[in-house]
Amino acid sequence: MQIDLDFKLQNRSDLAIKFLDNNLEDLIHLDKSKWILCALSLDAIPVTSIIAKRLQFKYDILFSEMISAPNNQECFISIVTETEETVIHTELLDSFEIGLDYIHGQSRVKYEEDILKKIYRYRKGEKLVSMKDKNILFIDDSCENNLIALAGIKTAINTGANKIAYMCGIISKEIEVLFRKEIDELFYLHSTYNYIDNQHYYVEKLKKMEEDDILPILENSENFIVNIEEKMTK
């Protein structure tokens, strides 16, 4: 899906509304029993919750943590998810002569010290929703770090998802070409050869979502998987 954007998006709510107004419901071949939305970060929760409410889909969050190079905390060389899937930037790994033992060790640390805390904080300790035989629509806030999306795709594949789709407002042409080879459906509003950064395409400054921003959204969302399952057990 692509529209010609000759203006910037106002904010994340504007992004969600534009997706919905451009027949997202038709494009994903609506079947509420099979589709699950999955936010790839806390920053993606606002858009995910709006779309889930409008389409009446369940949604969850895939928690992951980036792994940095030993001597450069700003250089990400790998990522680990809550299902303990890892995706490695092999070119950087080879360039820095970093062994796989380092990745495995850091993955374990990130899982135990960071990911588990997020699972208990935001999902009340519950496991990620089962993706087996489901259609998964991953929603990303930004395509600037494609390791996050690739980790989601790998997780969905290895947990038996039936169909995998990815949605992000603005993407680079390179990401578009890469992802079309990896997944079944790709949704975006604008694809460009001259991608700058995510903030460039918004009028309002994008807020980095923190715990105080996210918890009220999740607690008040009827479509968040944890709330649905709690309601079913009562």
pLDDT score of 22: 80
Tell whether 149 and 215 lie within a shared domain.
Answer: yes
Task: State the total domains in the chain.
Answer: 2
- Residue 3: predicted pLDDT: 44
Same domain, 172 and 219: yes
Which of 76, 100, 122 is at the close of a domain? 122
- pLDDT score recorded for residue 62: 98
Domain identity same for 74 and 187: no
Structure confidence at residue 6 (pLDDT): 58
Q: Identify whether 35 is part of a domain.
A: yes
The answer to whether residue 2 sits within a structural domain is no
Sorted by sequence, the CB contacts under 8 Å of residue 102 that are 6+ apart come out as 70
Domain assignment of residue 5, yes or no: no
In this structure, are 154 and 178 located in the same domain? yes
Residue/partner pairs of 77-80 with CB below 8 Å, 24 or more apart: 77/103, 78/103, 78/106, 78/107, 78/147, 79/147, 79/148, 79/150, 79/151, 80/106, 80/107, 80/110, 80/111, 80/115, 80/151
Output the pLDDT for position 171.
93
Whether the Cβ atoms of residue 166 and residue 153 lie closer than 8 Å to each other = yes
Among 95, 122, 149, the domain boundary falls at 122
Same domain, 108 and 194: no
Residue 53 and residue 144 in one domain: yes
Q: Is residue 175 part of a domain?
A: yes
Q: Which two tokens stand for residue 134?
A: 């489901």
CA–CA–CA angle 95, 173, 198 (5° rounding): 85
Q: Are residues 56 and 83 in the same domain?
A: no
Neighbours of 51 (CB within 10 A): 23
pLDDT < 70: residue spans in the chain: 1-7, 23, 27-30, 234
Q: Which CATH number belongs to the domain containing residue 54 in this structure?
A: 3.40.50.2020
Q: Are residue 70 and residue 92 in the same domain, yes or no? A: yes
**Which residues form the domain of 110?**
66-122
Assess whether 159 and 222 both reside in one domain: yes
Please check whether residues 54 and 100 belong to one and the same domain: no
In a domain, 177, yes or no: yes
Of 107, 122, 137, at which residue does a domain stop?
122
Q: Is residue 70 part of a domain?
A: yes
Report pLDDT for 4.
Answer: 43
The answer on 229 and 140 residing in a single domain is yes
Q: Is residue 7 included in any domain, yes or no?
A: no
Residues 137 and 214 in one domain: yes
- Which DSSP letter does residue 30 get? -
> Is the residue at 1 inside a domain?
no
